[in-house]
Amino acid sequence: MGKQRHGGSSWWGQTTNGVKNWIGVSVIAALVVASGIGIAALEQRSRALASDPVPRTTFTLPASPTPTVEPAPTAAPRVVDLDFTTLGRLPEETDAGAVIGTRETGRNQSPLAVEDRALRHGVPTGPNAASYLEAPIGKPVDVLGADVIFPRDNPGQIALVVWGEQLTDGGPIPTAGIHFVADSATWHVSVWNNGETNYAEGSYTPGPKDGKTKQTFQIIRSGDRIWIQLPDGRTEGPIQNAAIQELSSEWASWELYEYDQSREPAAFARVWAG
């Protein structure tokens, strides 16, 4: 029995092993076929993706907004326009019949006068020397400008001012919402109330400082904003301050100023307002 059982086990084991081997080979063959089919399918899909324009979702970052610069408004017509290159003396009235006034600190060797084709005053004899020219234009000032001549060395300053009230009546210096000051390379604009409170400042590329080249400055106002047009062609603005509107008036003014005796006075070749 033992031999018979052993003999039976040997046959069954061989048979079982054969079946296992056949199944193993079949499974491997099936896997190989399946793998081949899978690879072929992937290759076919890849070729299809490469050749077929399948819609795809793309994401584009929004472009940065382009900054906009608000250009200056068109300058108002000139109501006062005094060209000292052709005037032999300082007029007493504007073309509209308004009185042209002046005011002096008394710290210059001579007061305002037309000399050598420009409006000038004498060299300073003390600190904070100033001369003022003023003209009412019959409406709030919306444009104020000047052609300026700076000396070669140690130039003084000029100012373009819209006073809240008349300056040349002999009373205290009034307040101003536009008090623009420039030398031969820099500028600032402030509220004047017994002193300056700056609200904008900057510089510009000057022309020749030869004592004869004209440097043009112009301020254009719209409500509580101003634009400053500089000699190098640049425009600064809009610059906003509530005092620009609150202290607007008809009183246009032009100033020559030297803060100490080392400064050489600038001169006005032309001034205008509108």
Q: How confident is the prediction along the chain (274 residues), in pLDDT tens digits per residue?
A: 443 333 333 333 443 444 344 334 343 334 333 444 444 443 444 444 344 444 444 334 444 444 456 899 998 899 999 999 999 999 999 888 999 999 999 999 999 999 999 999 999 999 999 999 999 999 999 999 999 999 999 999 999 999 999 999 999 999 999 999 999 999 999 999 999 999 999 999 988 878 899 999 999 999 999 999 999 999 999 999 999 999 999 999 999 999 999 999 999 999 999 9
Range of the domain at 253: 80-273
The answer to whether 270 and 133 are in contact (CB under 8 A) is no
Report the distance separating Cα 110 and Cα 121, nearest Å. 6
Same-domain check for residues 140 and 250: yes
- CA–CA distances in Å: residue 151 to residues 41, 157, 209, 231: 88, 10, 6, 16
Confirm whether 66 is domain-assigned.
Answer: no
Confirm whether 102 is domain-assigned.
Answer: yes
Same-domain check for residues 50 and 94: no
Same-domain check for residues 225 and 142: yes
Q: What is the pLDDT of residues 158-193, one digit of tens each?
A: 999 999 999 999 999 999 999 999 999 999 999 999
Same-domain check for residues 91 and 45: no
For the chain, what is the domain count?
Answer: 2
Report which secondary-structure segment, H or E, holds 269.
strand 267-273
Confirm whether 52 is domain-assigned.
Answer: yes
Same-domain check for residues 205 and 132: yes
Same-domain check for residues 53 and 117: no
Confirm whether 68 is domain-assigned.
Answer: no
Type of residue at 93: E
The answer to whether 104 and 134 are in contact (CB under 8 A) is no
Same-domain check for residues 85 and 32: no
The answer to whether 202 and 187 are in contact (CB under 8 A) is yes
* Closest C-alpha to 145, from 177, 180, 119: 180
Confirm whether 72 is domain-assigned.
Answer: no
CA 76 to chain centre: 22
- Decide the pairing of beta strands 129-136 and 225-229: unpaired
Same-domain check for residues 158 and 239: yes
Same-domain check for residues 260 and 152: yes
